Structures are given as C-alpha cells and as structure tokens.
A and B are shown apart, each in its own frame.
Chain A
Amino acid sequence: GAGVSQSPSNKVTEKGKDVELRCDPISGHTALYWYRQSLGQGLEFLIYFQGNSAPDKSGLPSDRFSAERTGGSVSTLTIQRTQQEDSAVYLCASSWGGGGTDTQYFGPGTRLTVL
C-alpha cells in the first residue's frame, strides 16, 4: 500500500501567518510522530500520537505549535504566527504500535520557509 504522505511538500509563508501541515500515515498504523529538521541541524522530536491522543507534548517548541489527529488517521500540525526560526523540514512518521518500539516509516517531509 501507500507509504506516509505529507502535504504540502513545500510551503513559503510570511512571518506572522499561520500554517497547517498535513500527514497521512500508513493505513492501520496507530502511532504517529512529528519531527523537525532545521537546516544544518539534527532531527528534533515534536509530538507523538497513540490513536488520537498525544501522551507527550513536551517536544513542541512553543505554544504557537499545536497538533491534532482525528479518526486515528490524518494529523495536522499547526504553527500560528510563524517566525523565521520556524523554517525547517517537518517530517511525519508512523508505526504499527507506539512507545517507539516499532519500526517507523517516514514521510517525505514538508519544507517550510518563513520569510
């Protein structure tokens, strides 16, 4: 079947605007993860969903960041009042089970540029 998909693939926005990033996980995967990779830096954990619940929101960088998952499937990551330091590639991954103990399948990412 299809892998993890993300949309849009690229997003250019102006500072102060809100953006929504979407992730479609592999069908049947109960766990969904959001990560961020800033230019020249490593991967950073943002949030993890088990079903529709997010047991751990500690990775979200600020209260401008929020995420939700509905129907145990699609997830959206929303960044309000974007700042230039939000520019990064946002990656989504999914796995059958949660707790980081199953293989994760990564999407292609959304490249966000905040001007």
Chain B
Amino acid sequence: KNEVEQSPQNLTAQEGEFITINCSYSVGISALHWLQQHPGGGIVSLFMLSSGKKKHGRLIATINIQEKHSSLHITASHPRDSAVYICAVSGNDMRFGAGTRLTVKP
C-alpha cells in the first residue's frame, strides 16, 4: 500500500462543475503539498498546508491532520484546469501520490 493515496486516478468533468480530489496518507508529516503538472511537464506548487484550509482563486485545499486526509477542490472548473494534480507529503523527504488526471471538457 502506498503511503500517499490519491483518488480518483482519472476524472473527467464538464466546464463549470465542482471538482474534488482526495488524498490520504499514512506517515507523519510536516506539511502537505498540492502540485499541478500540465502536459509538457512543468510543475507548479498550488498549496502547502499543515492545518485547516487555504483558498486561492477558484482552488481550495483542506487538511484534516487527525484523519490524515486532504482534499483539493476546484470551483467553476474550466478547460484550462485540465492537468495532473499531485498530492505530496513532506517530512525528512517527500512522498508523492500517483496523481489525478483531470480533464475538463467545454
């Protein structure tokens, strides 16, 4: 069993839909990161959080430390949100989830 589990693996949505991607982890962490990787490979850090909730534009990330679970939400999804979203946890190193491939159709 992977130490960082993401679901779903693939997600297709219609433009405007509310998206949720989930991440569960089984190790102790200093922080949890949500990353975005567009086709062509560039990786961008969306959020880093160790408690509570963060919001940036249409993106919201939450974490429940007791339950070792985080969610990434996208409101009013748009085709430009199509990308792979990766959950990662940091302690002495970084452990990555397998990623969620999101496709938003117009």
List the interface of chain A (C-beta within 8 A of B).
33, 35, 42-45, 48, 55-56, 58-59, 89, 91, 93, 99-106, 108-109
Consensus secondary structure, chain B interface: strand
Does B94 belong to the interface (CB within 8 Å)? Answer: yes
Chain A residues closer than 8 Å to B90, beta-carbon distance: 99-101
A104, chain B: closest CB distance, angstroms? 6
Q: How long is the Cα–Cα vector from A33 to B95 in the complex, in angstroms?
A: 13
Chain A residues closer than 8 Å to B76, beta-carbon distance: none
Chain A residues closer than 8 Å to B88, beta-carbon distance: 43
* Known A-B contacts A56-B92, A100-B90, A101-B30; A106 and B50 likewise in contact (beta carbons under 8 Å): no
Q: How long is the Cα–Cα vector from A73 to B94 in the complex, in angstroms?
A: 21
Chain B residues closer than 8 Å to A108, beta-carbon distance: 41-42
- Are B45 and A59 in contact (CB-based, < 8 A)? no
Beta-carbon contacts under 8 Å, B23-57 to A: 30-31, 33, 35, 41-45, 48, 50
Q: How long is the Cα–Cα vector from A35 to B94 in the complex, in angstroms?
A: 9
* Known A-B contacts A56-B93, A100-B91, A101-B30; A89 and B41 likewise in contact (beta carbons under 8 Å): yes
* Known A-B contacts A42-B96, A56-B92; A100 and B45 likewise in contact (beta carbons under 8 Å): no
